[in-house]
Structure 1
């Protein structure tokens, strides 16, 4: 078999889900009880669900499949999504996830009798419109004997895309109608509030699509954009399988050699942003009984900075490794203040953010934040213990070989390194970096980059106390 993956480097903003549901804390305790789950679902008949249906994430050939039925306005679905994203990151190549829409609104779901989430149908339709649209990744998987034919098919689709007027109008109407509901959703408003607090006025990431802007587009606009942006000097092609480098080069040049770029090369990197100041925003959501809290700040760090590895290692001590972290122990196990907590770094070529996310009752928001800040300061003021350091290193080193557990994950990783100007053997180098890091280096990195006093807080749900 051969896999050919083509990636065009285009900056895209993700469409957020809408966000809330009518769940009480007592009900949540009940449904989280394993005994309840065994009683409630043990007698239900088994149903065959096609794992390839729906929107799929993860490696196509992964040995484990997870099928999720979700509602864009369900807060627990959102928290599950965060956990699933972490699982996909931690076990690359071993898990594929298929998402199915199950909006709690009888307008589009005949299995629901009452309207629980009035915007769920609109959000689901918007997601489907986006999923149906062309993306920036193209791939083909063929038998080695059909390599030439497969690349010819791939090149024809990339160089001569089919953009029929009728399909464009249909998708345009769906996207415009769905955007109206999406722009009013609490989850979207919370995301907008977070960006407004973190980014300077006029930043490209603050742009948003509205029904008016979507409706004003013409097919000619889309065709012009495609010609301007989908171009060979922004493209990376990875070939993996039973083929020699010489054969691969000859076939790629045969079918893509005539592809030329016209006009100036677009700027695809977002500009660096200055450090943000502290702020707090509450986004009301009457359908929530718990608060979803995000504590975020911008960093002057880039992916090429050596401190990236020290921060990732420290985050696996602090909050990026589920149960075996300081934040989980402090906020969940010992105090019982939160239902979920996690932390992460998102580091790119020009900008980075650090985020701590948790969910709790409104009366516990201030208490939980104080504990988060105390833990961040502790990371800056003293080295982590030798046991914490060993455990974090073990977790990170285990993730590296798992990240190359499938052909698809290897191809995606090579694309990432190429587009982020990283060495192609970066995982091997990362092993040495992590092994050599000391507790003092982790402490110094947190002291250098993290600013507990400048955290932006966005709370979604009832007004926090």
Structure 2
């Protein structure tokens, strides 16, 4: 289930890739074409190491789970490598292990990914196995029952983690009538309702070649990649994509508080509200603003105020989860129970502060330097490149993204930061979840 399979040779080659071959963002210009059955294919030749990454993005994630059966997309993805009509799970594992490759599948909120990483000499096997799990999953009753039970066990163990509990409750408040309110893996209750027929139906409706973005990165020519795609995916029958009727998440228009009792010495706090979609034109200004506020580690305002000056938390971060539809913004931390109200007040003070006054020249400069400087690290392996390429295509960002990202970040001004802080941060209307000793915390509501 969502296994990572690999042996030493490929791991070693992968580990040295960034040491021997620095990726230049401006050099990332993939060849794009559409197959007769509607599959979008992106090929990026990189011949410095004999590795090929084959990465399939299927435009179906947990946001498209049937009502009251959250977790179907995740269960489908988890079963892909648990046996096909011609190979058992053991045979799949042995064949990919024998050549030192890897095979992986994972469902997220907006999409599912399945990928194979392989040495160039074994590339035909990589295509064979990836195509087999995508096109011919067996969905045997035995594996379905076993994997579903395993997922339920993982969900149950998560209920002991106050961070998981807090985020689950936070998403319920922020996305209360939207599929994003559920964890991608579902809940014990919803997963228990899922039948094998649900899994088979979801797969049949959603796993279509014209719903797939296939990215191929590595030591392979465009001609070789094209031939392999045709050989292994050419027989996949095109279908009619489902009508998407999901509405955008409703805006949080009031302060909502949920207190969850757990006998702990610390309070786990999550505070935030709705966020933005990935293709929002303000994404880059928000990225800079959020880095200054709380995503920038020890240089962020939240860390400086809540951790260093007030000593209320070991760590604190703010996040923007940008998805196909507007995601969420949140701040999370843990603090001693008696300091719960002080920490919440401190977070709201910093949110108000970045809205009310321009950031300093130094803050702006340091944030932009970090974001521009760290960008190549997101592209320093074939696996990362294939993932990012697929998402750039999925979100419609355009391939100029790779050369323009640094310029878009550099273009952000202090006025931009304050404008987006005022527009996208709301210290009056937010969801607040506190997990801990409720009686001692005495959270003001």
Q: TM-score, normalised by structure 1?
A: 0.68
In 2, Cα distance between the equivalents of 1:188 and 1:389? Answer: 33
Shift of 1:289: 0.3
Pick aligned residue for 1:347 from 313, 322, 328: 322
Q: Cα–Cα, structure 1 residues 241 and 269, in superposed 2: closer, same or farther, change >3 Å?
A: farther
Instruction: Indicate conservation of the 8 Å contact 1:302/1:350, yes or no.
Output: yes
Counterpart for residue 411 of structure 1: 386
Deviation at 1:183, TM superposition (A): 6.3
CA distance in 2 between partners of 1:213 and 1:316 (Å): 36
- 1:248 to 1:449, Cα distance in 2 relative to 1, 3 A: same
Q: Which residue in the other structure is 2:287 paired with?
A: 312
1:338 is paired with a residue whose SS is coil
Change in Cα spacing, 1:392 to 1:147, as seen in structure 2 (3 Å) is same
Q: 1:295 — aligned with what? A: 271
Equivalent position to 2:231, from 238, 254, 259: 254
User: Structure 1 residue 199 and structure 2 residue 249: aligned?
Assistant: no
Check the 8 A contact 1:9/1:268 in 2, yes or no.
no
1:241 counterpart residue number? 218
Correspondence list, 1:58-207, <5 A: 136-176=112-152, 189-201=165-177, 203-206=178-181
Per-residue deviation, 1:395: 0.9
- Structure 2 contact 364–414 (Cα < 8 Å) conserved: yes
Q: Offset of 1:234 from its aligned partner?
A: 1.6
> Using a 3 Å threshold, how does the CA distance of structure 1 residues 248 and 314 change in structure 2: closer, same or farther?
same
Match of 1:5 among 55, 59, 62: 55
Taking the aligned partners of 2:245 and 2:58, their CA distance within structure 1 comes to 10
Q: Indicate if the aligned counterparts of 1:346 and 1:353 stay in contact, CA closer than 8 A.
A: yes
Counterpart Cα distance in 1 of 2:231 and 2:245: 28
- Displacement after TM superposition at 1:440 (Å): 1.4
**SS of equivalent residue, structure 2 residue 127:** helix
Please point out which of 258, 281, 304 is paired with 1:329.
304
Q: Distance in 1 between matches of 2:155 and 2:321?
A: 27
The 8 Å contact of residues 11 and 269 in structure 1, kept in 2 or not, is answered as no
Deviation at 1:138, TM superposition (A): 2.1
- SS of the equivalent of 1:162 reads coil
**Where does residue 81 of structure 2 map in the other structure?**
none
**CA shift in 2, pair 1:353/1:213, >3 Å:** closer
2:370 counterpart SS class:
helix
Specify every segment of 5 or more residues in structure 2 that has no aligned partner in the other structure, as ranges: 1-50, 64-69, 72-99
Q: Equivalent residue of 2:271, what SS? A: strand
SS at match of 1:330: helix
Distance in structure 1 (CA, Å) of the matches to 2:189 and 2:259 = 27
Question: Distance in 2 between the 1:416 and 1:223 partners?
Answer: 26
Distance 2:211 2:223 in 1: 22
Alpha carbons of structure 1 residues 381 and 6: separation in structure 2 relative to 1, 3 Å: same
Instruction: Return the alpha-carbon distance in structure 1 between the equivalents of residues 385 and 128 of structure 2.
Output: 23
Structure 1 residue matching 2:279: 3-state secondary structure: coil
Distance 1:163 1:384 in 2: 54
Is residue 195 of structure 2 the alignment partner of residue 218 of structure 1? yes
Q: Where do 5+ consecutive residues of structure 1 fail to align?
A: 16-59, 62-129
Give the aligned CA root-mean-square deviation in angstroms: 2.8
2:20 corresponds to: none
For residues 214-260 of structure 1, the C-alpha deviation after alignment (integer angstroms, 9 at most, x for no partner) is 44443333222211111112211111122222321222022212212
Aligned pair in 2 of structure 1 residues 318, 193: CA closer, same or farther (>3 Å)?
same
> What is the alpha-carbon distance in structure 2 between the residues aligned to residue 451 and residue 212 of structure 1?
33
3-state SS in 2 of match to 1:323: helix
Report Cα offsets for 1:295-320 as digits up to 9, x if no partner. 11113x32222211111111111111
TM-score under structure 2 normalisation?
Answer: 0.71
Q: C-alpha displacement at 1:207, in angstroms?
A: 5.1
Q: Is the 8 A contact 2:209 2:236 kept in 1?
A: yes
